[in-house]
Amino acid sequence: MAKEIRVLLAEDDFYARNWMELLLRRDWRTKVTREVSNPAELANALEDINKHSERIDLVLIDTDIPHDSNWLIEALRSLAKHSPKTAILFTGVSPNIQVARLLAQSNFAGYILKDEIRYSLAWAVSLAAERHIVVTPGVCDVFDKSNPLPSGTLIM
């Protein structure tokens, strides 16, 4: 890996967002270019990135948004509109079958649980940016026979 990985971080929780940003900024492989806390900010950030012809290699997006069932849907719409080929790595606190079903998307780069990835977040991001599918053990059960993980998936 020769280039730095440019990451857009989408997380609603202020403390989680700052902690993940810290972990990514301390790693030589990754650079956090933007951080957003809701779908509107995500759409604005993506528009700004496109306007300035900047590159984003990966979007790290939280899936556990309390009291907002449209968060993920709106975020994915913005990504499809503004940055359809950018890899997406999903994070969460507990496994969600709806996120597992997003495996069919061509830019699906993985699904990791925060409590399982812990300090290895930058490692997961770097592998996902290289177009490996990365998951943590806790999400493996939400992928079933009708929606199996592809061979070569990295379980971290």
Give the number of C-alpha atoms closer than 13 A to the C-alpha of residue 41, restricted to the C-beta side.
12
Quote the mean pLDDT of the chain: 92
- Name the helix (H) or strand (E) containing 10: strand 5-10
Please report, rounded to a whole number, the percentage of residues in the chain having pLDDT higher than 70: 99
Question: What is the SS3 assignment for 60?
Answer: strand
Higher per-residue pLDDT: 70 or 135: 135
* pLDDT tens string 60-101: 999 987 777 788 888 888 888 888 899 999 999 999 988 998
pTM: 0.93
Q: Which two tokens stand for residue 95?
A: 């496994």
Close Cβ partners of 148 (under 8 Å, ≥ 6 residues apart): none
